[in-house]
Chain A
Amino acid sequence: MNITINGKETTLAENPARTVESLLEELDVAQRQYVTVELSGEILERDAFGNTPVQDGDALEFLYFMGGGR
């Protein structure tokens, strides 16, 4: 299946059990415990990661903490 992650088309093996939580693990996403996930324009509550399925055509944005400045 094809999804878009941070603007980039990505092809993943079919997996009907895939959730946002398992996807973060599968892709070894940086700051996995803290990353904010936007799914189709909506910010997902962290509690919902485990029961939100990832479906063909989904567009996800991973938003990372960046604490530097000085």
Chain B
Amino acid sequence: MLTDEQIERYSRHIMLKEVGGKGQQRLFDGRVLIIGAGGLGAPIALYLAAAGIGTLGIADADDVDLSNLQRQVIHFTPDVGKPKVESAREKMEAINPAVRVRTYKEWVNAANITDIIRDYDFVIDGTDNFAAKFLINDACVLAGIPYSHGGILQFDGQTMTVKPGESACYRCIFPEPPPKDAIPTCSQAGVIGVLPGVLGTIQATEAIKFLLGKGELLTNRLLTYNALRMKFREIPLKRNPACPVCGEHPTITEVKDELDALTVCDLKS
């Protein structure tokens, strides 16, 4: 049951017929894990806390760096040097004290990811390297937990939502990670600061829609965005029978670290 304070706080949600008091309660019962407390994770964590998602997990082993502040809007100048998950938790709790924030000050890897994600209804990838992106895909597909993929670089971004067993997964499109350092990262190639705001907000929207059970998720579609040309495009996708994790004859049956894909991006991301 929502309290009077909550009814007022969420009044602009509750008046939407797609949300209502029932939907707001669903959000409060929802559990979303955000992996990465950086560019994408910042708007995701802020908006999901504001929206009243009852349980939010946030995972990141890094500390706030001065070079993060150009885009990671959840971290403020006095936070430099502080663990990102602590800095993020403070802002999320300040926006909405009713939200339970669980922090994981660690990098996800094959040894810990399955245990972390199992407590969540929806996972959001806000990481900055292919090792993590493929790991999150595999772990979510194998555990049957829907998730939102997001990637950004310079002025470009892409995102898709994966419903394991129902829609195309990341490996359906990209079967293997590129070799280490073959593709530049944000820390090497730069990123316009507003870009993760656009992509992260779309990812947060998917989590909310999933919890509400309303609308159409960004499944079987890759949404691409170019900020310079100010263009969104949607590329239709379907499941790939040859997908190594969700195809007809999967070769990946347990999570593994993509050691070849580990990048140096986390040094100064």
> A residues near B, CB below 8 A?
6-7, 31, 33-34, 36, 38, 41, 43, 45, 61, 63-70
Q: When the two chains form their complex, are residues A33 and B182 in contact, meaning their CB atoms are under 8 A apart?
A: yes
Neighbouring A residues of B157 by C-beta, 8 Å: 66
What is the minimal beta-carbon distance from A30 to any residue of chain B, in angstroms? Answer: 10
Neighbouring B residues of A38 by C-beta, 8 Å: 235, 237
The reply to whether the CB of B114 lies closer than 8 angstroms to some CB of chain A is: no
Given A41, A45, A67, A69, which contacts B183 in the complex, CB threshold below 8 Å? A67
State in angstroms the CA–CA spacing of A43 and B240 once bound together.
Answer: 7
Given contacts A67-B133, A69-B127, 13 further A-B contacts (CB under 8 A): A6-B233, A7-B233, A31-B182, A33-B182, A38-B237, A66-B158, A67-B263, A68-B152, A68-B191, A69-B186, A70-B37, A70-B41, A70-B62
> Known interface pairs A36-B173, A63-B174. Does A68 touch B233 (Cβ–Cβ under 8 Å)?
no
Q: Considering only CB atoms, which chain A residue lies closest to B128 in the complex?
A: A70
Q: When the two chains form their complex, are residues A69 and B125 in contact, meaning their CB atoms are under 8 A apart?
A: yes
The reply to whether the CB of B73 lies closer than 8 angstroms to some CB of chain A is: no
Q: Considering only CB atoms, which chain A residue lies closest to B191 in the complex?
A: A68
1/0 contact string of B88-112 vs chain A (CB within 8 Å): 0000000000000000000000000
What is the minimal beta-carbon distance from A32 to any residue of chain B, in angstroms? Answer: 11
Q: When the two chains form their complex, are residues A36 and B174 in contact, meaning their CB atoms are under 8 A apart?
A: yes
> Known interface pairs A6-B233, A33-B182, A38-B235. Does A69 touch B151 (Cβ–Cβ under 8 Å)?
yes
Q: When the two chains form their complex, are residues A67 and B129 in contact, meaning their CB atoms are under 8 A apart?
A: yes
Given A31, A61, A63, A70, which contacts B36 in the complex, CB threshold below 8 Å? A70
Neighbouring A residues of B266 by C-beta, 8 Å: 70
Q: When the two chains form their complex, are residues A65 and B172 in contact, meaning their CB atoms are under 8 A apart?
A: no
Neighbouring B residues of A70 by C-beta, 8 Å: 36-41, 60, 62, 68, 72, 126-128, 186, 265-266, 269
1/0 contact string of B164-188 vs chain A (CB within 8 Å): 0000000011100010001101100
Neighbouring B residues of A65 by C-beta, 8 Å: 130, 151, 174, 178, 183
Q: When the two chains form their complex, are residues B233 and A66 in contact, meaning their CB atoms are under 8 A apart?
A: no
Neighbouring A residues of B37 by C-beta, 8 Å: 70
Given A7, A34, A45, A67, which contacts B265 in the complex, CB threshold below 8 Å? A67
Given B40, B68, B133, B173, which contacts A63 in the complex, CB threshold below 8 Å? B173
